[in-house]
Structure 1
Amino acid sequence: MRAVRTTAVTALAGAAVLAAVTGCTAKSDAKGDADGITVTAKDDSCEVSKKEFPAGHVTLNVENRGSKVTEVYVLYPDDRIVTERENIGPGTKAALTAEIKAGSYAIVCKPGMTGAGIRQTVTLTGGASAPKRSAEMDAAVAAYRQYVQAQADETLPKVKVFTDAVRAGDLEAAKKAYAASRIGWERTEPVAESFGDIDPKVDVREDGLEEGQDPAKDWTGWHRLEKALWQDKKITTREKQLADLLDKDLADWVKRVGKAEITPTSMANGAKELLDEVATGKVTGEEERYSHTDLVDFKANVEGAQKSFELLKPVAAKNDAALVAELDKQFAALNTLLDRYRADKTGYDFTSYDKVGKAQRKELSDGVNALAEPLSKLAAAVVK
């Protein structure tokens, strides 16, 4: 879960990981500023070069002139996410290419990656239909939609094993089922997060709660139960109620997945978002701070990103063969690195992350950053 959506990345995480992630975006991966919209993010403002521009394939060229790491969103009027780019460090640039239909939207900058952000309303003009796609693009979207739905459908029974154990008061069985229950979610998290309201219910960390929220009453989902199992070492009536609520919220997610807005560029940007998830949560050990099952989430995030890439590869290879070759290389390298920490090459029995040393974490971080840099260019390559 991106606690960085609502809380700043800790100093420990920020120093090592964000410097590498944001540093690799210092050179814009857009077609050029003249072909896109410039977004200037500062600590107290979010300036957009144009408030009205044509719908279709839109490139946002973001420059962070503030003193804090920031993120930029494009939101529908109901706050669902069209697209986003996180972890843009002070003094760096990033480019975000997305397929956006005609209508009214908000471009939002979040200095420090906290709070509601600073909004600018923009209007995209033109027809309501989506930009024309090739048959290969349509095939990629259709296949990815099937993948996302399958991951959601397969998650519910795994979650039920976990929540049944919680309801039974079986601490050890619940611990054993916890990590496996999260794999499908972690593989497809950008799609789940696009709905806006589900992620804060099921995957928020305590430090990701909004200001004014009470952890005792408002903190729900996997990580609340994780804390009870590993730190508190007890299951009370409250945890059993939270298990029921997790089942309910995830059932809602499964029903809504089929209606998600999916485009070739959202697939590409989602792959990059999954690598950002790894960089700001899994590599740092923040995500699963009680269970230390971070490497399971790590692997699932990488698998989800790779699935998007593989489906988009036929299109991207025609436009940028060198990029595709580099992505093939870096995905293989990162998977090989992860394999060192698993009991076998097909299962999800990974080393507890508290047993992974500082040097090893640095090596994992470097592998993530080596993949994140070329992956940030995939969306632009898809629509060349």
Structure 2
Amino acid sequence: MRAARSSAVTAIAAVASLAAVSGCAEKSDAKGSDAIRITASDDACEVSRTTFPAGHVKLAVENKGSKVTEVYVYAPGDRIVTERENIGSGLKANITAEIKAGTYEIACKPGMKGHGIRQKITVTGGKTAKRNPKLDKAVADYRAYVQAQADETLPKVQEFVDAIKKGDLEAAKKAYAPSRVGWERTEPVAESFGDIDPKVDLREDGLAKGQKWTGWHRLEKSLWKAKKITAEDKKLADQLVKDLKDWQKRVGTADITPTGMANGAKELLDEVQTGKVTGEEERYSHTDLVDFEGNVDGAEKSYQLLEPVAAQNDPALTKDLDKRFAAVKKLLDTYREGDGFVSYDTVGQAKRKELSDAVNALAEPLSKLAAAVAK
């Protein structure tokens, strides 16, 4: 969940260092005339051109502020078209995205929180991006994957909710983490709608003023911290099913592109770095490693579907990504226990830094995948 960032930034510093977080951004010196330059600072978001043609768009971001920032391209309704998180102070990052004609907003978010500093942009009718048929297949296969993840999630959520409604605390705890796996694998697609994620996956410190807290983490707090199930919790459980059925119904309509898949894979690694490695995501249940695996699985799925084209265009990149994915998964395997993972509160700071370094080593080359498939 991306909404709660302020505490996550502080927590990351305790795990690794700001330099490690900043490393998630691609160190880029892109100065191509075809790139839209975005200069982010603590109080501004400057865009070199506010009108440009549709197609494969290159964004060259530079963070001149003192805070870690993130950059979003929003369609109307705050639907996320593309984004890049964890761009450290003084660093640059390249984003390649396929953007259709229309009106959008570019947002820079110093401190990685809030509504962001926004600039309106207009994308005019341009040439339709010529696409390798293999990429059309990748998109179709990924669309089937995200739908399958949603379809498989609902029965697991129902099991979790049924336990809550029966007042069975231990059964609800056991069902909690498995109910989240499909969501974690496909989170960028769910978040692209803008309105579902805050209902189901928001942490308490991410609440806007006056916003009611609903979803998994609200129930997580009741189960592990309050250690009791209330009548209100039972109502919230029903609401969770309702909201996730909305996600299940809508996920097949998501706007999916090859570059969107690639950028989504990078976003999932950012999720690991800013929420799972720090212990922020599952602060009461300490089931962070289950979410960690879900994010990595989802990122790897996108990569595997795009790999046939990426390997043609940039074989050195895919060779590196194969090695980096294997390293992260091998390290994660050392924390397995029974059918799941050890409780994350038993993982010390040195081990958390080891996980952070492995994720960071994967995230850097993964940030180049979109450019590789867009060649």
The TM-score range, normalised by the shorter chain, is: over 0.9
- Give SS of 1:201's match: helix
1-side partners of 2:13 and 2:135: how far apart? 36
Letter in 1 for 2:175: A
Task: Look up the match of 2:369.
Answer: 378
- Gap regions ≥5 residues in structure 1: none
Matches within 5 A, 1:290-305: 290-305=284-299
Residue identity in the other structure for 2:226: D
Following superposition, the deviation at residue 113 of structure 1 comes to 1.4
Q: Distance in 1 between matches of 2:112 and 2:76?
A: 20
State which of 197, 203, 213 in structure 1 corresponds to 2:210. Answer: 213
Which residue pairs with 2:108 in the alignment?
109
SS in 2 for 1:220: coil
Q: Which residue of 2 aligns with 1:283?
A: 277
Q: Give the conservation status (yes or no) of the 8 Å contact 1:100–1:130.
A: no
Kindly state the Cα deviation for residue 317 of structure 1 after the two structures are TM-superposed: 0.4
User: TM-score, normalising length from structure 2?
Assistant: 0.97
Q: CA deviation at 1:131?
A: 1.5
**1:59-138 correspondence to structure 2 within 5 Å:** 59-127=58-126, 130-138=128-136
Q: 2:95 aligns to what SS in structure 1?
A: strand
Paired positions, count: 374
Shift of 1:22: 1.5
- Cα distance in structure 2, aligned partners of 1:10 and 1:119: 21
Aligned equivalents of 2:36 and 2:218: distance in 1? 40
2:19 aligned with 1:28, yes or no? no
Cα distance per residue 1:304-339 (max 9 Å; x no partner): 000000000001001100000000000001000001
1:343 and 1:45 mapped to 2: Cα distance?
Answer: 47
Q: Does 1:140 align with 2:134?
A: no
Q: Once the two structures are superposed, what CA deviation does each residue of 1:75-107 show, in whole Å capped at 9, x if it has no partner?
A: 112210100011111111111110001111111
SS in structure 1 of the partner of residue 335 of structure 2: coil
Is residue 55–residue 98 contact of structure 2 (8 Å, CA) maintained in 1?
yes
Q: Which 4+ stretches in 1 moved above 4 angstroms?
A: none
Match of 2:244 among 238, 247, 250: 250
Whole-angstrom distance in 2 between the partners of 1:245 and 1:95: 39
- Structure 2 residue runs without a partner (length 5+): none
Name 2:172's counterpart in structure 1. Answer: 174
Distance of 2:246 and 2:346 partners within structure 1: 36
Question: CA RMSD, aligned part only?
Answer: 1.4
Aligned sequence identity (%): 71
Which residue does the alignment assign to 1:363? 354
Q: Structure 1 pair 144/236, CA: closer, same or farther in 2 (3 Å)?
A: same
2-side partners of 1:130 and 1:286: how far apart? 41
Judged with a 3 Å threshold, the aligned counterparts in structure 2 of structure 1 residues 89 and 325 are, in CA distance, closer, same or farther, namely: same
Contact kept, 8 Å, 2:29 with 2:92, in 1: the verdict is: no
* CA displacement at 1:189 relative to structure 2: 0.2
CA distance in 2, matches of 1:249, 1:77: 21
- The residue that corresponds to 1:53 in the other structure is 52
Q: How big is the shift at 1:17? A: 5.3
Q: Given residue 374 of structure 2, which amino acid in structure 1 is its aligned partner?
A: V
Q: Which residue of 2 aligns with 1:149?
A: 147
Q: Is the 8 A contact 1:171 1:234 kept in 2?
A: yes
Residue 233 (1) aligns with residue 233 (2): no
